[in-house]
Each structure stands twice: as C-alpha cells, then as structure tokens.
Chain A
Amino acid sequence: MSIWALSLQFLCTGLTIGSIYALIALGFTIIYNASGVVNFAQGEFVMLGALLAVTLTAHGVPLVPALVVSVALVTLLGCLLERGFIRPLAGRPVITPIIVTIGASITLRGVSMLAWGKDALPLAPLPGPPTVALGSAVLQFQSVWVLGISLVAMVCLRLFFDRTLTGRAMRANAANREGALLVGINPGRMVMLSFMFSAAIGALAGALIAPITLASYEMGTMLGLKGFSAAILGGLGSSPGAILGGLLLGVLESFAAGFISSGYKDAVAFVVLLLVLFLRPTGLLGARKLGGL
C-alpha cells in the first residue's frame, strides 16, 4: 500500500474513534459548564451504554430498540447520580463533587464487573454490509454509522441549545449562574439536566463503538480519560472545541498507531494533553481568559 492509501485508511479509522471521543468530550463539557465539576464517571456512562445494549440484545430485543433503551436507562442513572450524590454537596468546594464522581466511577465499574464478568463481550453492528470501500480505504460499515449518528447527535444538541427554552436556560446558567438565577432559572435543575444529557451521549457513544472494540467493564476508564483530554485539547467549556479536539485526537492516535507504535498509541492522547497545557493552555477554541478550572 502506498503511504497515501495508508494515510487515508488511518484518517478514516481515526475519525471513527475520534467522533466517539468527541461525544465523550461533549459530555464533560456540558457538565463542566453547568456546574464546574469534572465528571470522572463519564467513562462509566459509556461502558454502561455498551454493556446494557449487549445484555438487551442477548435477551432478544432487536438492536435499535436495545440501543434506545440502554441510552434511556443510563440517562436515568445520570439523573439519579446527580440527585442522590451531587446535589447534597451544593455549597461544598468543587473538589468534593469531583471526588464523588470518582467514587461513582469506581462503584459503577465494580458493580459492572460483578454483573457482566471480566470478559470483553461482542455487540452486533447496526445493519449494513460488513465493510465499505472508500477509495483505497476499507472500513467496517459500523464506522459509517458511528460517524453518521455522532454527526446527527451533535446537530441535535446544537439545535437544542440554540432553539429550545430549556437549552437556552442551560446556556444562560453556564454563562452566569447568578444572572440566570435572577431571571428564574433553577441552577440545580440545570445541573441535573446536564448530567442526564452527558449520560445519554456517553451511553450512545459506548453502544456505537462496542461493535468495533467489544464491550467490557473496564472500557470506560481509558475512553473517559481520552474524552477528557479531547475536551482540554479543544478548550474545556467549548462545545465546538470538544468536537474538534475529539476528532483531532482520534486521527493523531490512529496515525501514531500506524506509523510509530501501536503499544504507545494510548500515550498519544496524554502527550497531546501535556503539549496543549505547556503551549496553549486555553486549548484550540477555548476562552481567551485563563482561570476558572
């Protein structure tokens, strides 16, 4: 294969995994904007989305309803997590809810290990031919679904935040909590909604990528941390930044795995993370002003 053909191949696989990172990064961004909390349980939402879809399809539920139900269940979990464990901490220093999300992440991982075991489980891909050729690159057809559905999800989120009253209230709350409170926006409710949205897109990401990578109780840790790196790369707090950061990270990682070493592939995200912090701490599309986080 020529270097160009290889590059096209790596670009396509990179964009596939990158759009998953982008969805996870968006989850971080939404919660961070609403509450200032970095939600370390984000990766566990992804893992649960994948594993619940595996279980539902194994019990004979058709694939598409299984995806919808697993996303709905994880959304409910996000709501319960906020209601039960984050809301009681209102007024505490921000490190406290962050450590609680770490605790939630450990708990969910532990429970999932008990429920699903330690083996990686397969999930059927969405319908279509097994592979698709794109010029000289050959992709699993699931990649097309991943890219397409991620794109639709991002557009829907954009429309929600721009066009609906609830979405605008969430943005107002993110921009200025006191100001939003003055015009009658309930900040607690906005934080709850942000956890539900993050859980939903996290679960969606997990259910989409599972047919390619398999699903296991420990998949969430690395995906979560890479999604977080993507959010920093784009500029934490910026939604377009999260998407750009995710795609860029996926592509970089794919090229590094192909041209340098697959063993060090996972390190790429974190080397990029350090470079961003050292050279441009605001991220690619972040606010000019530093501070806050």
Chain B
Amino acid sequence: MGARARYGFVVAAVLVAVLPLLLSNGYYQSVLVFIGINAIVALGLNLLMGYAGQISLGHAAFHAMGAYASGILTATYHVNPWLAMACSVVFASAVALVVGVPTLKLSGHYLAIATLGVGMIVSIVLVQWVSLTGGTSGLTDIPTLSVAGFPLNSDLRYYYLVWGVCLLLTLLSINLVNSRFGRALRAIHVSEVAAATCGVNVARLKLQVFVLSAAYAGLAGSLYAHYVHFISPERRFGFPFSIEAVVMVVLGGLGNIWGSLLGSGTVTALGEFLRQFGDYDVAAFGLILMLAMIFLPQGISGGLARITLRRRPAPTPAAPPQEVAHR
C-alpha cells in the first residue's frame, strides 16, 4: 500500500467515524448501514469484475445464502450468531466453488450465465422450501449480535460494526490487488494467454477470486440478517439485487476499490431518494442507469478523477506511440 493509498484510507476511516455523528437521524443512520452492507457485496464483486474480468449475474444468491444460513442457524437452531456467521460465509463460498470449478475452466463469460442460473434457482428455492426458509412469509426472530455482552442493538452501534468490517475488507482488497496475486489478476484481465505463458494458473486464480467474492456477499448477507432480524425472498435475494450489485460496481468504476464504496453509496441512496416518487422509482432508476453508462464510461470514480485532473496543469503529453515493426 503506497503513501497516497494510506493517506486516503485514513481520511476514509475518519469520515466513517464522524459521519453518523453529523447525521443523528435514525433513518439516515440505517441508510448508512445498508450502504455499508451493499458496499461489502460490491467490493467482492469488483474484485471479480474489475480485476478477474468475469461477471456474476447471481450474487444475490450468495448474499441470500449468507443471510439464510445465519437466519436458519440462529433463529431455528439457536446457534451462536458469530459461529453462524462463519458457517454462512463458508456455505456461500462452498457453493461458489461448486459452480466455479466447471465454468471457470472455459474462457469467456460462462460464469455470468451459470451465476444467473444459480441466482434464479436459489430465489425459487427460498420461496418453495417453506419448512426451511419460511417461504414468502420469511424468517423472523433473528437475534441481535453482541460483542462480549455488549449488544449491537441500535443503528449507531451496528453502523460501526458494518463499517468496521467494510473498511477492513477495503484494506484487504487494496492489499490484494497490489500483491503478486493482484498483478496476476490484472494480467489475466488484459490477456489470458499472455498471463498463462507467464506461468499464471488462469482458471485457478479466477476461481479463487470468485469464491472470495461470494464470501464477501455471504458475509454481507449475514450482517444484513442480524441487522433487520427478518428476511424474506422479496427484493434483496432475487435477480434484481444481483443486477443492483453489478450496477454498483460498474457505476462506481470497474477495477477501482474506492469506486465500489461510491457506487454502493450512490445506488443505495438513489433508491431511497426515489422512493418518495412512489411507482415512478423503477423507471427513473433504469433511466439513470442507462444515462450513467453512456456518459460516465469510467464510472463515478473515473468521472471524479477526470474533473480533478482537469483543474491541474496539463500533464506532459505522452510520447507518440512507437510504430510496431511487423515482421
């Protein structure tokens, strides 16, 4: 992690610590909690999409597995919530492994299609397997998390837990993409063949990133379940949320770790803001998404960088591209 990144991380940490004190309204704090939970999903998905160059159209499934594993273990079987959380992350990762092994051997976007299938199957099972998941009426009475007898039972307390986890995972992601592992990832994003000739095991690396991103989504699901105490298949655990997660990553900026936080903040806050327009929110969200994709090719983070760069003195022009000799 370079000096600039460390500086940025400290600024972000201070911002995270101070923000809820400025927004003392409980509603705003709960929106911030949801932003943090979504940001964890986006961080993982960004590693997959922005660095390994693979798309998942079913991350809601891993999110759901995390939430339901936690919910079922704690509410139905009264397992310790922290243990349940660990189990839920392992469960989501294991399913990702099973899906990833056959599809990531193939080059191209077969993972996108497979995850789409997994996402749809999971959302159907959540509704149909009533004895386990509670069906459409969902699971209730998911207990509150507590740390050494200190219950995280207010929005503010939960906020610090979620954002603490989120910042840790941000740090992990930044270190990961700047490590040998991350360089190999970027290499396969540019050219799988070139990376393979340099000794990178392409399929294995893609699989590792995919499993890691599913683990992030599972952990976020578990955090969600313990925050709202009630989970049902609607909204968060189906295809729409998978798409929302992809949108957060792309809107924030593919391959930009901080962009994921920006993207999840924007998408979540936008969704909350549009709610006041009632049924107009769906159409407005779709339209904003289309326009953002057209006018912000590098996402919000890329757009911000462009604006700040414009104010600085013009960079020295790059050397003209060398003619490549064709033999």
The reply to whether B102 and A290 form a contact with Cβ atoms under 8 Å apart is no
Docked Cα-Cα span, A261 to B283, in Å, equals 35
Asked if B106 is an interface residue, CB under 8 A from chain A, the answer is yes
Shortest CB-to-CB span from A161 to chain B, Å, is 25
Q: Which residues on A sit within 8 Å (CB–CB) of B103?
A: 277-278, 281
Docked Cα-Cα span, A11 to B22, in Å, equals 64
The residues in B between 247 and 261 inclusive whose CB is less than 8 angstroms from any CB of A are: 247, 250, 254
Contact flags A36-65 to B (C-beta < 8 A → 1, else 0): 000000000000000000000000000000
What is the total number of residues of chain A having a CB less than 8 Å from a CB of chain B? Answer: 42
Asked if A95 is an interface residue, CB under 8 A from chain B, the answer is yes
Asked if B124 is an interface residue, CB under 8 A from chain A, the answer is yes
A99's partner among B109, B239, B246, B285 (CB-CB below 8 A) is B246
| Chain A, residue nearest B118 (CB) | A274
Asked if B280 is an interface residue, CB under 8 A from chain A, the answer is yes
A221's partner among B55, B239, B250, B254 (CB-CB below 8 A) is B239
The segment out of B10-18, B157-165, B288-296 that lies at the interface is: B288-296
The reply to whether A267 and B120 form a contact with Cβ atoms under 8 Å apart is yes
Given A103-B289, A110-B280, also A291-B108 (CB < 8 A): yes
Docked Cα-Cα span, A99 to B116, in Å, equals 14
B294's partner among A100, A267, A292 (CB-CB below 8 A) is A100
Shortest CB-to-CB span from A145 to chain B, Å, is 29
| Residue of B116, B120, B246 with most chain A CB atoms under a 10 A cut-off | B120
Contact flags B269-293 to A (C-beta < 8 A → 1, else 0): 0000000000111111111011001
Docked Cα-Cα span, A239 to B188, in Å, equals 32
The reply to whether B286 and A107 form a contact with Cβ atoms under 8 Å apart is yes
Interface secondary structure of A, over-half rule: helix
Docked Cα-Cα span, A221 to B284, in Å, equals 18
Shortest CB-to-CB span from A228 to chain B, Å, is 8
The residues in A between 92 and 108 inclusive whose CB is less than 8 angstroms from any CB of B are: 92, 95-96, 99-100, 102-108
Given A102-B243, A264-B124, also A229-B117 (CB < 8 A): yes
Given A277-B103, A290-B108, also A105-B120 (CB < 8 A): no
Asked if B309 is an interface residue, CB under 8 A from chain A, the answer is no
Shortest CB-to-CB span from A42 to chain B, Å, is 14
Asked if A114 is an interface residue, CB under 8 A from chain B, the answer is yes
The residues in A between 241 and 293 inclusive whose CB is less than 8 angstroms from any CB of B are: 261, 263-264, 266-267, 269-271, 273-274, 277-278, 281, 290-293
Interface secondary structure of B, over-half rule: helix
Given A106-B289, A109-B282, A110-B282, also A99-B247 (CB < 8 A): yes
B287's partner among A103, A113, A264, A293 (CB-CB below 8 A) is A103
The residues in A between 61 and 109 inclusive whose CB is less than 8 angstroms from any CB of B are: 85, 88-89, 92, 95-96, 99-100, 102-109
Q: Which residues on A sit within 8 Å (CB–CB) of B120?
A: 225, 266-267, 269-270
Asked if A155 is an interface residue, CB under 8 A from chain B, the answer is no
Q: Which residues on A sit within 8 Å (CB–CB) of B281?
A: 110
Q: Which residues on A sit within 8 Å (CB–CB) of B247?
A: 99, 102
The residues in B between 186 and 245 inclusive whose CB is less than 8 angstroms from any CB of A are: 239, 243
Shortest CB-to-CB span from A50 to chain B, Å, is 19
Q: Which residues on B sit within 8 Å (CB–CB) of A263?
A: 124, 127-128
Docked Cα-Cα span, A221 to B293, in Å, equals 21
| Chain A, residue nearest B283 (CB) | A110
Asked if B154 is an interface residue, CB under 8 A from chain A, the answer is no
B289's partner among A99, A109, A113, A266 (CB-CB below 8 A) is A99
Q: Which residues on B sit within 8 Å (CB–CB) of A221?
A: 239
| Chain B, residue nearest A115 (CB) | B283
The reply to whether B108 and A114 form a contact with Cβ atoms under 8 Å apart is no
| Chain B, residue nearest A225 (CB) | B120
Q: Which residues on B sit within 8 Å (CB–CB) of A152?
A: none
The reply to whether B125 and A114 form a contact with Cβ atoms under 8 Å apart is no
The reply to whether A278 and B102 form a contact with Cβ atoms under 8 Å apart is yes
Docked Cα-Cα span, A261 to B113, in Å, equals 25
Docked Cα-Cα span, A85 to B55, in Å, equals 21
Docked Cα-Cα span, A114 to B279, in Å, equals 7
Q: Which residues on B sit within 8 Å (CB–CB) of A225?
A: 116, 120, 239
7 A-B Cβ contacts within 8 A?
A114-B280, A264-B128, A269-B120, A270-B118, A277-B103, A277-B110, A281-B106
Q: List 8 A-B pairs, minimum CB-CB distance, nearest first.
A: A110-B283, A107-B286, A106-B286, A110-B282, A103-B290, A103-B289, A270-B117, A273-B117
